[in-house]
A and B are shown apart, each in its own frame.
Chain A
Amino acid sequence: MPSVELRNINNYICRDVTLTAQHGELLALMGPTGAGKTTLLNVIAGLVPYEGMVLFDGVPVDKLSPRKRRVAYLFQNFCLFPHMNVYENVAFGLQVQGLKKADIELRVRELLCLFRIEHLSERYPNKGLSGGEKQRVALARAVAPWPKVLLLDEPFNSLDFETAKYLRVELVKLQRTLKITTLYVTHNQREASEIGDRIAIIHQGRLEQVGKHSQVFFGPKNNNVSSLLGSPNIFHCKTFFPLTASLAEVELNGFSLVVPYDGLSIEKIAISQWNIYISREKPPGPQIDRLRGLILEIAYHSPIVRVSVSCGKEQMVLEVQEQLWDETGLHEGDDAFLILPLRWIKVKSCERDLHCMRSITGPSTTNHSVKI
């Protein structure tokens, strides 16, 4: 039974949205600014008017006010109560429900311990709590009254890249520990793919597509989805050789790559045009996932430059910031080196045993540089 189910949700932004999140799932809601992602969370929390049905564990909650829906909502910037210390923040949801003082004390201490913030219990949010500590306090406060659903609205938007990355990992760990159904709003594809069990693409109030990241990435349902995800370079795999338990070498049309491997047959590989690096000089290090190609076309779409490069018998498209591109000094007809970071190569696997050539040898580095 799905933990959260939306049926035909309509309001001033949402257009007939039907969506389910399974029990314990972390579903990333992705879409451009103004797409209706936050509104959808507000619908689930009962903070905005809507038509349609919202069900928790199969039970409609439309007639319940926000305070009775048992939803934990983490807004941007965490929204801690600045006039309460950490202990009082975490205890707030329990106090307003009229629990006994001893029970509140027990629950709060348990959560402070779980979130590793016992030492901060007397501190006020604006008096020396770091971004990570604020996040943990906000999460502890959110889950204190035993909510059924956790809603997160771009909680790391205002943080720097490194802190946000670290906190995302922490969040996923905690979400797995608590096994709470979570809907996470983001407009960042990287973030969505990193933390979401599945991704739901929202555009102009409509649910365009929902599925695992690789499903959406390799098979965008329509132009709205593909324009949001970008137009990735997708290549069909001819053969592949498992190298280790988690890596395989795939033979493509005129070149080969080392890609992540999950034990299933590799059907296609894809890499986004934003995640390919280009250089005039031969990159240092082992020549794995480094390709040599010929620049076919350069198109300026300020502030982005779109570059088409021929590699083997395939054509690869990449996008670079105009300023960075000018620094490379490359022109049409020049040879260039492409670097495809392993972590950004997406693999579409299938159950069928396709073109697998069992091998225990290392990657055939000679194939990686394609002479033009």
Chain B
Amino acid sequence: MNRPQKIRPWWGILPVAIFLALWEGAARLNLMPGQLFLPPFSVVMQEFYYLIASGVLVDNFLSSLVRVVIGFCAGSIVGLIIGTFMGWKEILNKTFNPIISLVYPIPALGWLPLLMLWIGVNEMLPITIIFICSFFPVLYNTITGIREVNKEVINTARTLGASERHILIRVVLPLALPNIFTGLQLEAGMAWRVVIAAEMVAIPTGIGALMMRAESLIRVDIIIVCLIVLSLMCLLFERSFAYLGQRFTSKWK
């Protein structure tokens, strides 16, 4: 008789632990081309500690974090507001959809040269890039979420005496939440990827800039520390929005 297998939460950690052990062993035994290109995991962790203790990592991390938070929040809020109007009013959707469809396919980093000329190399540059990166997916997910709400549900609210404002706020937006949170979840991680790229190319501060400086000094351990920070932040942001989405919709979905 087959017994149902019990999957324990710590099983997912096992491959990570094996990977780290292999990494440490390979580097220590010089199986790879030496510590210069692949320092052992323990050395990377040591460097991680030094970078935090010296404040270098914290300063650069905070620079990136502020850019991500401002750009992401602004892009998401504007995307949510415009998406709500475009999803709710057919005429607005028909009017603005062509231009948005033309602009949306341009990758956020594709705007970088143009924005460097328009607004210069300053704090506004990465924030604007993240704004663009966050705006479109949230906009499209909001439009889709609103338009996917069953028309009969809307008509039911209408015949029950609800005004358009009531229908939008109390019926349509709550039902569009799962789609909106999907957009936010995807873009929360993407914002970090974009800010690192922008900082690597044009901005002298932030995690991306730190990586570029480490590259010029051939400090692979620092690069790996930055990548670990980037990975953790992408994961944290994505999981946070997944949790919030679940929190807001799980009791009825």
Contacts and interface: CB of A to CB of B under 8 A. Distances in A.
Interface stretch (B51-59, B99-107, B168-176, B229-237): B168-176
B155 interface: yes
B158 A67 contact: yes
A127 B252 contact: yes
Nearest to A74: B156
Contacts of A77: 152
A99 B158 CA distance: 17
Contact of B174 (A83, A125, A144): A83
A96 B163 contact: yes
A75 B155 contact: yes
Nearest to B162: A96
A71 B156 CA distance: 10
B159 A68 contact: no
Nearest to A141: B160
Nearest to B173: A83
A202 interface: no
A126 B175 CA distance: 13
Interface in B222-253: 249, 251-253
Contact of A69 (B159, B170, B253): B159
B174 A145 contact: no
Q: Dominant SS at the B interface? A: helix
Interface in B133-161: 150, 152-153, 155-161
B160 A47 contact: no
Interface string A184-226: 0000000000000000000000000000000000000000000
A261 to B, nearest CB: 43
A302 interface: no
Contacts of B150: 79
Contacts of B249: 83
B89 interface: no
B94 interface: no
A77 B175 CA distance: 17
A82 interface: yes
A73 B155 CA distance: 8
B156 A96 contact: no
B175 A79 contact: no
Interface string B13-51: 000000000000000000000000000000000000000
A97 B161 contact: yes
A246 B161 CA distance: 46
A154 B185 CA distance: 39
A45 B156 CA distance: 10
Given A67-B163, A126-B253, A79 B156 contact: yes
Contact of A145 (B160, B163, B175): B160
A83 B252 contact: yes
A81 interface: yes
Contacts of B158: 47, 66-67
Given A82-B253, A83-B174, A92-B170, A75 B152 contact: yes
Interface string A324-347: 000000000000000000000000
A135 to B, nearest CB: 14
Interface in A99-141: 124-127, 141
Contacts of B252: 82-85, 124-127
Given A81-B171, A92-B162, A96-B166, A45 B253 contact: no
A365 interface: no
A141 B162 CA distance: 13
Nearest to B164: A67
Contacts of A24: none
Contacts of A72: 159-160
Contacts of A75: 152, 155-156
Contacts of A92: 157, 160, 162, 170
A73 B163 CA distance: 16
A124 B174 CA distance: 14
Nearest to B165: A96
B168 to A, nearest CB: 12
A163 interface: no
A76 B161 contact: no
B175 A67 contact: no
Contacts of A124: 251-252
A66 to B, nearest CB: 5
Contacts of B161: 67-68, 70, 93, 96-97, 145
A29 B178 CA distance: 38
A125 B163 CA distance: 23
Contacts of A141: 160
A79 B153 contact: yes
A200 to B, nearest CB: 21
5 contacts: A47-B159, A79-B152, A85-B252, A124-B251, A144-B160
Given A81-B153, A85-B252, A96-B162, 7 more contacts: A47-B155, A79-B153, A84-B252, A92-B162, A96-B161, A144-B160, A145-B160
